[in-house]
Amino acid sequence: MTRPHEPTVPQNSARHDAALHDPRATEAFAPQHAALDTLAPLELVRTFVDDQLTAVQAVQAAAEHLTRAVEAALPRLERGGRLIYAGAGTSGRLGVLDATELTPTFSWPPERAVPLIAGGEAAIRTAVEGAEDRAELGEQDVRACRAGPDDVLIGVAASGTTPYVLGAVRQARAQGALTVGLANNPGTPLLSAVDCPVLLDTGAEVVSGSTRLKAGTAQKIALNTLSSALMVRLGKVYGNLMVDVKATNLKLEARALRLVRHATGADEHAARNALTASQWNVKVAVVMLKLGLSAPEAALRLDAANGHARAALGKI
């Protein structure tokens, strides 16, 4: 007979132990945070902030693998390929964010940044239960977007085991696309299923299993790094200036004006005139002012240099 107040041992102790000891580090219990709910506000905030440093360290450790992904993806994008993102939950939303921000930041055509998220657009704001558990949905989404040999699919899954992402990767490879995988657990199926595996080993979370914390931060840094490095190599910056920014509001118009003045040394009047003549294309305005060309002439020179401002200016 079980004594009062004594914990009951499950009949199937092996199954109980397996449930307690998930091999994925992102699902582990961090003993150093066992008293999290007793911390004073300042200590609580510092705990969360300090734990984020692990995310930076994880991406630093993955730098060589990210570099391989950049090098493999670049020629496909130069041929006109697309960046396709596949994820579920937080990972999927981070993919949507990265894809969305490429257009205003680098004038990357929106049709060439395709975010796929388990459960569709509704899952951006609302959890769509069960969608991530179906590999066939990932396969269907990749078929629907017609991924091909010039495309790059980036599969993102903290666990490294998400069926939706694995299905998307499998289908993308079958259709000839390059596949990149970001996962926060070593030895997981996603990392073995892709052409370019990137391990972001962030370990256990402060709040057990909540991969929206440092695992998500590491994914965000890695995605920022991967896509931004590709944009730089594709000529979307001049020096470190955002010369392909889309000036779609007053803030961005002011930024465009500052960029042109900084790059050329022109006064505000000349910079604004060049931007107006180039329909607020910063890159064209810079080439106009530095070489004394008209807007059409500057645009042709950039086209001949495949959009690289430094090459168009003869400063390779």
| Active-site pick, 132, 136, 139, 297 | 132
pLDDT at position 86 is 98
pLDDT at position 10 is 45
Spell out the domain ranges in the chain. 54-233, 250-312
Stretch 264-281: mean pLDDT: 97
* Amino acid letter for position 263: A
The residue ranking higher by pLDDT, 2 or 207, is: 207
At 10 the three-state DSSP class reads coil
* Amino acid letter for position 175: Q
Catalytic-residue membership of 132: yes
Beta partners for residue 116, in sequence order: 86
Are the beta carbons of 231 and 245 closer than 8 angstroms?
no
- Tokens 């007979």 label which residue? 1
Predicted confidence (pLDDT) per residue in 207-259, tens digit:
998 899 999 999 999 999 999 999 999 999 999 999 999 999 999 999 999 99
- Over pLDDT 90: what percentage of the chain? 84
- Band of the pLDDT at 17, cuts 50, 70, 90? low
At 87 the three-state DSSP class reads strand
- Tokens 């090459």 label which residue? 311
Summary mean pLDDT of the chain:
92
250-312 has the same fold as 54-233: no
Beta partners for residue 86, in sequence order: 116, 155
What is the spatial distance between Cα 210 and Cα 158, in angstroms, rounded to a whole number? 10
pLDDT at position 19 is 47
Where residue 63 falls (left for φ over 0; alpha for ψ -120 to 50; beta otherwise) is alpha
Q: Is the pLDDT of residue 14 over 60?
A: no
Long-range contacts of 305-312 (CB under 8 A, 24+ apart): 305/235, 306/78, 306/235, 307/234, 307/235, 307/236, 307/283, 308/235, 309/235, 309/238, 309/243, 309/283, 310/235, 310/238, 310/239, 311/235, 312/287
Note the CATH number of domain 250-312.
1.10.8.1080
Are the beta carbons of 155 and 163 closer than 8 angstroms?
no
- Band of the pLDDT at 171, cuts 50, 70, 90? very high
What is the spatial distance between Cα 10 and Cα 244, in angstroms, rounded to a whole number? 62
| Active-site pick, 27, 78, 101, 253 | 101
Tell me the two tokens of residue 78: 């130069």
Return the percent helix, strand and coil in the chain, to nearest 5.
55, 10, 35
CATH architecture entry for 54-233: 3-Layer(aba) Sandwich (3.40)
- Tokens 């950049």 label which residue? 70
Predicted confidence (pLDDT) per residue in 103-149, tens digit:
999 999 999 999 999 999 989 988 887 889 899 999 999 999 999 99
The DSSP annotation for 207-259 comes to STT-TTTHHHHHHHHHHHHHHHHHHHHTT--BTTB-TT----SHHHHHHHHHH
Are the beta carbons of 110 and 117 closer than 8 angstroms?
no
pLDDT at position 20 is 58
Element at 153 (helix H, strand E): strand 152-157
Q: Is the pLDDT of residue 13 over 80?
A: no
Q: Is the pLDDT of residue 173 over 90?
A: yes
Q: Is the pLDDT of residue 202 over 80?
A: yes
**Which of these, 173, 182, 180, 222, lies nearest to 83 by C-alpha position?**
180
What is the spatial distance between Cα 284 and Cα 272, in angstroms, rounded to a whole number? 12
What is the spatial distance between Cα 209 and Cα 207, in angstroms, rounded to a whole number? 6
Q: Is the pLDDT of residue 11 over 50?
A: no
